[in-house]
């Protein structure tokens, strides 16, 4: 029976153990190959998109590329280590990792400890290394939510059991991120946690109520914060202020439009010559569109779609509830972040300042994304043991009912 077909409760897979092992190994290899291809493309595009700005500011066209390469090497070590690590042991570190994340978020807000830039205080410096605690918040909240919801079993249909303590922990972390301010990362974090709640069996009406509260809170922040209000206004009509509020959106769309079908050529972007702000970070997708054309952007979209398919497949083949929730949460995090970034560059969503996973410049983001993928690979390597019921693990929507 195919792993993508749900079987009735109590059904047993008749698939031969060897074919089951090959299927898990195939998913593992495909995920590793897809990740390697996207990171490789990211390194090439960071070098191309950042070369002008790096030379203009620091006198070396390779500065940002070298930093990204270091991040990729560190991320590779994290990916390899976690892929061989038994993900089930992460239950023990889920809560300590969350409290460590909170401590980092608080420290980033303390003058003299946190590192500020661009009007935000989001970073901590450890010698020459700068880290962003809010990036760790996404992974730590997925792990702790999966651990807590796994223990609740079928009780997540109750609103009180659903909300406590997962939602207070999420709200606390997101409030600290908003204070930095970093609304974009907080939105992705909430979306990932809601995905874990849904996969754990939460009722849609309960999730709808939580989503409505979150939307109202986000709208309130946009209306009360001057720079957020200006961003939203420029999203609605960028041409009302083409030299200030709408400048980045307009220049990004010019870059995308000028690429045509096949682009102007790798390294030949004109918009990266100080026209598109943050060309190697938030708006790297615009440079991809200009240099590689529509074909290049479709390849990127296809790579993310295939990545999410593999993540869903890993979740469905997880041997236990914890693995299912963690794999689903990590896949949702990376997929949603990609949608938000690309949506902002194309003008379909407001600009939130989040990087494109595995492709944009950003050491902390790259390392932690690769760490999350390492956990996915760990789950994929184990898979559901031969002879186990087919379909989704017990106690999960669409799978067997909890006893």
Classify residue 393: in a domain, yes or no.
no
- Chain position carrying tokens 């994929």: 380
Residue 10 within a domain: no
Token pair for 123: 């970073």
DSSP secondary structure of 236-259: H-GGGSTTTTTHHHHHHHHHHHHT
Domain extent at residue 50: 17-382
Structure tokens at 348: 């379909």
C-alpha dihedral sign at 350, 132, 310, 3? negative
In a domain, 2, yes or no: no
Q: Tell me which residue of 342, 330, 340, 349 sits closest to 35, measured CA to CA.
A: 330
Give the pair of three-digit tokens for residue 300.
Answer: 């990127």
In a domain, 257, yes or no: yes
Asked if residue 403 belongs to a domain, the reply is no
Residue 229: pLDDT over 90: no
**Alpha helices for 153-246 (secondary structure H):** 159-163, 166-179, 183-200, 204-224, 226-236
pLDDT in tens, 44-54: 999 999 999 99
The secondary element (H helix, E strand) that includes residue 130 is strand 129-131
Q: Count of domains in the chain? A: 1
pLDDT band at 157 (very low <50, low <70, confident <90, very high): low
Residue 238: per-residue pLDDT: 83
Res. 243: pLDDT tops 60: yes
104 closest CA partner among 95, 93, 113? 113
Whether residue 157 is contained in a domain is answered as yes
The number of beta carbons lying within 10 Å of the beta carbon of residue 86 is 11
Is residue 36 a part of any domain in this protein? yes
What is the structure's pLDDT at 392? 52
- pLDDT at position 122 over 50: yes
pLDDT at 16 over 60: no
- 38, part of any domain: yes
Q: Residue 388's pLDDT is what?
A: 54
CB 282 within 8 A of CB 63: no
**What percentage of the chain exceeds 70 in pLDDT?**
84
Q: How confident is the model at residue 22 (pLDDT cuts 50, 70, 90)?
A: very low
Is 0.85 surpassed by the pTM of this model? Answer: yes
222-236, 267-281, 283-297, 309-323: lowest mean pLDDT where? 222-236
């Amino acid at each position: 029976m195919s792993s993508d077909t749900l079987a009735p409760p109590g059904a047993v897979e008749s698939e031969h153990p060897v074919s089951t092992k090959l299927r898990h190994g195939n998913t593992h290899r495909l995920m590793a190959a897809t990740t390697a291809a996207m990171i490789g493309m990211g390194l090439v595009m960071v070098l191309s998109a950042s070369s002008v700005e790096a030379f203009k500011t620091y006198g070396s066209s390779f500065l940002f590329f070298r930093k990204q390469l270091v991040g990729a090497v560190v991320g590779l070590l994290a990916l390899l280590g976690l892929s061989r690590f038994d993900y089930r042991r992460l239950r023990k570190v889920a809560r300590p990792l969350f409290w460590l994340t909170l401590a980092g978020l608080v420290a980033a807000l303390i003058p003299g400890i946190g590192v500020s830039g661009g009007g935000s205080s989001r970073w901590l410096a450890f010698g020459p290394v700068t880290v962003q605690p809010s990036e760790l918040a996404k992974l730590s909240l997925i792990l702790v939510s999966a651990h807590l919801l796994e223990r609740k079993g079928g009780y997540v249909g109750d609103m009180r059991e659903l909300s406590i303590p997962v939602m207070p922990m999420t709200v606390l972390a997101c409030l600290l991120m908003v204070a930095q301010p970093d609304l974009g990362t907080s939105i992705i974090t909430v979306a990932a946690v809601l995905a874990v709640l849904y996969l754990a069996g939460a009722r849609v009406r309960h999730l709808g109520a939580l989503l409505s509260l979150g939307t109202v809170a986000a709208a309130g922040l946009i209306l009360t914060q001057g720079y957020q209000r200006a961003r939203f206004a420029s999203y609605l009509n960028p041409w009302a202020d083409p030299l200030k509020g709408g400048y980045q959106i307009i220049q990004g769309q010019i870059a995308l439009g000028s690429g045509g079908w096949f682009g102007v050529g790798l390294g030949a972007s004109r918009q990266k010559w100080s026209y598109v702000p943050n060309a190697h970070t938030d708006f790297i997708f615009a440079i991809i569109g200009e240099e590689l054309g529509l074909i290049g952007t479709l390849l990127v979209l296809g790579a993310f779609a295939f990545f999410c398919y593999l993540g869903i497949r890993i979740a469905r083949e997880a041997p236990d509830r914890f693995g299912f929730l963690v794999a689903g949460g990590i896949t949702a995090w990376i997929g949603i972040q990609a949608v938000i970034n690309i949506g902002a560059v194309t003008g379909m969503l407001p600009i939130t300042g989040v990087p494109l996973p595995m492709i944009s410049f950003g050491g902390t983001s790259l390392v932690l994304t690769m760490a999350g993928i390492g956990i996915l690979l760990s789950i994929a390597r184990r898979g559901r043991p031969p002879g186990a019921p087919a379909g989704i693990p017990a106690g999960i929507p669409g799978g067997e009912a909890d006893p």
